[in-house]
Amino acid sequence: MQDSIRAVSWTDAGIALLDQRQLPHRAEILVLNTVREVAEAIQRMVVRGAPAIGITAAYAVVLAARGRYAADASRWKHAVAADLALLAGARPTAVNLAWALQRMAALIAQLEGDPGPPLLAEARRIHAEDIAANHRMGELGAAVIESPCEVLTHCNAGALATGGFGTALGVIRSAFTAGKIRCVYADETRPWLQGARLTAWELLQDHIPVKLIADGAATYAMRQGKVRWVIVGADRIAANGDVANKIGTYGLAVSARYHGVGFMVVAPISTLDLGIAHGSHIPIEERGADELVCLGERRVAAAGAGAWNPVFDVTPAELIDVIVTERGVVRAPNREKLAALIATETPPNRA
Amino acid sequence: MQDSIRAVSWTDAGIALLDQRQLPHRAEILVLNTVREVAEAIQRMVVRGAPAIGITAAYAVVLAARGRYAADASRWKHAVAADLALLAGARPTAVNLAWALQRMAALIAQLEGDPGPPLLAEARRIHAEDIAANHRMGELGAAVIESPCEVLTHCNAGALATGGFGTALGVIRSAFTAGKIRCVYADETRPWLQGARLTAWELLQDHIPVKLIADGAATYAMRQGKVRWVIVGADRIAANGDVANKIGTYGLAVSARYHGVGFMVVAPISTLDLGIAHGSHIPIEERGADELVCLGERRVAAAGAGAWNPVFDVTPAELIDVIVTERGVVRAPNREKLAALIATETPPNRA
């Protein structure tokens, strides 16, 4: 299985991001050296996907700390706080960004001397742990699928959205290898078309059969019996199991329940936000009208048309059959089950 | 209210079609003189929308009969049958096409002498009746809406899809005039973007506030309480009340029911197909993968990605709260109620 797609990697020259706005036409790598560049790259969706954003931000903290330490070794910790704040504000919905920054900040608080090497080691650990978690979730999620079937995914929760391998697409990769998936229906996922541009590309790299559908065709596909499972990622999971994910996810969950189709959310523990009691409190990013009234440079809608462009929505826990994390599978998720999961020790990685 | 948008009109030079593929950028009129050109224009969606297609086909029969009669006045009725078959095969799902052709064929069977003038008069009647039906449906549908609210529509069921005024947008126009609609959410409606390109343009002409949303955002809009009614057109209604309409309609109906949002279908009697017992027997057009893997000329998805592109779906009657026709409003539609509606005489047009 493809494990070589890397949305983000650390190089001696800086943070290397695969510019996802150019895929699948061009695999262009941008190498960034400043926190401001990285924050802008996150905001402009050069890199996207909750875990990938978190990893990118962790590496950006290395850049920030190095620069601040070089400028003033006695006051760098104070100065670097502004960099962390800048990164934290780049996008509001995915919690992995804040999670990675908090983990880096916790280490910063303990450091003495040159912060570069220990912070780089920590960022690399965050990255490696994410990849390992994806492989573990792949195994666990694939085990939930009982027999060969077709599945539907939304947006891109693949190698491109993570440190590597993917969350939802990690499960799909593992289940395909195990002979449990025959074909993947991929929502094209307007307005950014992550399904058409990214998910189809990723799956084709691994020779997994993929059929694109218009987002509006998903419910009809379920009616036609074409789909046994909907498998998606998550940008933030509230303590009660409500899941924020790409706009359109909630509609899929409503339709899946109506048709008796399984609904699986795949996300690492870093996506769980116990500080948010209920999904309704998750901040939902709204982006500009341009993403809807224009296609690329070209205006599609008549001048004067308004738009409402929330780019995430919240799926209530009661519509979710399974949440798959690297620590285990939670069926019919709720506050108690998620609290118990968090309280468990991380099992030894079997991969 | 805007009543001057004309998707199709008859001129001395032939059938004038507003090329809807160019909207809203250019209002280009194509004048067509042959049946072959008209069939191709329907197939390629120069004109679209079930009633508009029916009216266009009726006018095309005038062209056909004139030509065949001029070529051989004794055998023209035999020859024109091939033209009717060509038109009938242009698109499979909307029944108004077959309905209009049957009505023209019934007149042809009775004709003697030059068929041009009587057939043109019949085509003009079909067109005028459609406009009158739309105005009547506008009144009836608006009366169903109890108090000022926001509504959601899908695709384009407006003046552009009909002889004029519109079915779903006719209701929206009438209800807006009556102060019952504050704002219209318009699904952009992939893959052809009829919502973004056509519905937004039509509503703006009438100064009706419109907000475009991604198709995937509709269910979330309902969750947020932004929508009281979903109002859509229809391409064919089976005898049991199942409705074929633009892909995505069925998902809206499932979501509307889940949220207690009203679901209204607006369509003239010509859309009712009593020859089809159940929605599952309605032929559903599937179009090429190109509509999904490309945006205009540009390929979006990686080469090798397949696609499933049904352009209509079927909404079962049990998810429909109201069907509005020019003969009256049917709540909780079923076979018996629709049969009773068909059996009624057309009331005098109050418009």
pLDDT at B298: 83
Assess if residue B351 is contained within a domain.
Answer: no
CATH code assigned at B303: 3.40.50.10470
Assess if residue B192 is contained within a domain.
Answer: yes
Q: Are residues B207 and B250 in the same domain?
A: yes
Domain range spanning residue B55? 8-131
Q: Tokens 């998902």 label which residue? A: B251
Catalytic residue among A235, A242, A273, A321: A235
Cross-chain residue pair B220–A250, CB shorter than 8 Å: yes
Tell me the C-alpha distance between A167 and A193, whole Å: 18
Tell me the C-alpha distance between A27 and A19, whole Å: 7
Mean per-residue pLDDT, B287-298: 89
Q: Are residues A327 and A274 in the same domain?
A: yes
Q: Are residues A221 and A83 in the same domain?
A: no
Residue B196 has pLDDT above 50, yes or no: yes
Q: Are residues B108 and B246 in the same domain?
A: no
Distances, alpha carbon A82 to alpha carbons A35, A61, A88, in Å: 10, 11, 10
Residue B87 has pLDDT above 80, yes or no: yes
Tell me the C-alpha distance between B57 and A249, whole Å: 41
Residue B1 has pLDDT above 60, yes or no: no
Looking at B104, B131, B158, the residue that finishes a domain is B131
Q: Are residues A292 and A170 in the same domain?
A: yes
Q: Render pLDDT for B166-190 as a digit per residue (tens, 0 to 9).
A: 999 999 999 999 999 999 999 999 9
Q: Are residues A118 and A249 in the same domain?
A: no
CB contacts of B212 in chain A (<8 Å) are 289, 292-293, 301, 305-308
Q: Render pLDDT for A134-150 as a digit per residue (tens, 0 to 9).
A: 999 999 999 999 999 99
CA distance A159 to chain B (A): 16
Tell me the C-alpha distance between B202 and B311, whole Å: 22
Residue A18 has pLDDT above 80, yes or no: yes
Cross-chain residue pair B214–A247, CB shorter than 8 Å: yes
Q: Render pLDDT for B221-231 as a digit per residue (tens, 0 to 9).
A: 999 999 999 99
Number of folded domains in chain B? 2
Mean per-residue pLDDT, A118-122: 98
pLDDT class for B293, splitting at 50, 70, 90? very high
Q: Are residues A87 and A185 in the same domain?
A: no
pLDDT at A3: 54
Contact B142, B178 (CB under 8 A): yes
pLDDT at A257: 98
Q: Are residues A118 and A154 in the same domain?
A: no
pLDDT class for A1, splitting at 50, 70, 90? very low
CB contacts of A248 in chain B (<8 Å) are 214-217, 219
Mean per-residue pLDDT, A28-35: 97
Q: Is B36 exposed, middle or buried (0-12, 13-18, 19+ CB in 10 A)?
A: middle
pLDDT at A2: 46
Distances, alpha carbon A43 to alpha carbons A118, A234, A313, in Å: 27, 18, 18
Distances, alpha carbon B298 to alpha carbons A295, B122, B148, B215, in Å: 11, 43, 42, 21
Assess if residue B2 is contained within a domain.
Answer: no
Assess if residue B278 is contained within a domain.
Answer: yes
Residue B142 has pLDDT above 90, yes or no: yes
pLDDT class for B5, splitting at 50, 70, 90? confident
Cross-chain residue pair A190–B188, CB shorter than 8 Å: yes
Q: Are residues B18 and B144 in the same domain?
A: no
CB contacts of B251 in chain A (<8 Å) are 216, 218-220, 251, 255
Q: Residue A219 has which token pair? A: 């419910």
Mean per-residue pLDDT, B314-334: 98
CB contacts of A200 in chain B (<8 Å) are 301-302, 305
Mean per-residue pLDDT, A154-170: 97
Q: Render pLDDT for B29-38 as a digit per residue (tens, 0 to 9).
A: 999 999 999 9
Assess if residue A224 is contained within a domain.
Answer: yes
Residue B2 has pLDDT above 70, yes or no: no
Q: Are residues A250 and A316 in the same domain?
A: yes
Cross-chain residue pair A313–B212, CB shorter than 8 Å: no
Percent of chain A residues topping a pLDDT of 90: 93
CA distance A210 to chain B (A): 6
Assess if residue B19 is contained within a domain.
Answer: yes
pLDDT at A80: 98
**A201 backbone dihedrals φ, ψ, rounded to 5°:** -60, -45
pLDDT class for B146, splitting at 50, 70, 90? very high
pLDDT at A84: 98
pLDDT at B295: 83
Q: Which residues of B160-177 are buried (b: 16+ CB within 10 A; e: fewer)?
A: bbbbbbbbbbbbbbbbbe
- Please give the mean pLDDT across all residues of chain B: 95
Mean per-residue pLDDT, B274-303: 93
Radius of gyration of chain A (CA): 20
CB contacts of A250 in chain B (<8 Å) are 219-220, 223
The SS3 assignment for B264 reads strand
Cross-chain residue pair A304–B197, CB shorter than 8 Å: no
Percent of chain B residues topping a pLDDT of 70: 97
Of B44, B38, B30, nearest to B63 (Cα)?
B38
Contact A284, A236 (CB under 8 A): no
pLDDT at A346: 56
Q: Are residues B45 and B114 in the same domain?
A: yes
Q: Render pLDDT for B70-86 as a digit per residue (tens, 0 to 9).
A: 999 999 999 999 999 99
Cross-chain residue pair B24–A201, CB shorter than 8 Å: no
Among A23-27, A153-157, A254-258, B133-137, name the one with the lowest average pLDDT. A23-27
Probe site for chain B from A206, A227, A247 (most B CB atoms < 10 A): A247
Looking at B84, B115, B131, the residue that finishes a domain is B131
> Could you count the other beta carbons within 10 Å of the beta carbon of residue A191?
25
- DSSP readout, A81-130? HHHHHHHHTS-SS-SHHHHHHHHHHHHHHH--S--HHHHHHHHHHHHHHH
CA distance B197 to chain A (A): 5
- Please give the mean pLDDT across all residues of chain A: 95
pLDDT at A297: 77
Q: What is the pTM of this model?
A: 0.95
Q: Are residues B160 and B19 in the same domain?
A: no
CB contacts of B24 in chain A (<8 Å) are 301-302
pLDDT class for B3, splitting at 50, 70, 90? low
pLDDT class for A4, splitting at 50, 70, 90? confident
CATH code assigned at A45: 1.20.120.420
Assess if residue A40 is contained within a domain.
Answer: yes
Mean per-residue pLDDT, B312-320: 98
pLDDT at A310: 98
The SS3 assignment for B273 reads strand
Residue in B210, B221, B293 closest to A306 by CB: B210
Residue in B209, B247, B306 closest to A216 by CB: B247
Assess if residue B349 is contained within a domain.
Answer: no
**Residues of B annotated as part of the active site:** 235
Looking at A98, A131, A164, the residue that finishes a domain is A131
Q: Render pLDDT for A299-313 as a digit per residue (tens, 0 to 9).
A: 899 888 999 999 999
Tell me the C-alpha distance between A161 and B146, whole Å: 46
pLDDT at B341: 96
pLDDT at A72: 97
Q: At what angle do helices A96-110 and A76-88 cross, to 10 degrees?
A: 170
Probe site for chain B from A21, A151, A220, A319 (most B CB atoms < 10 A): A220
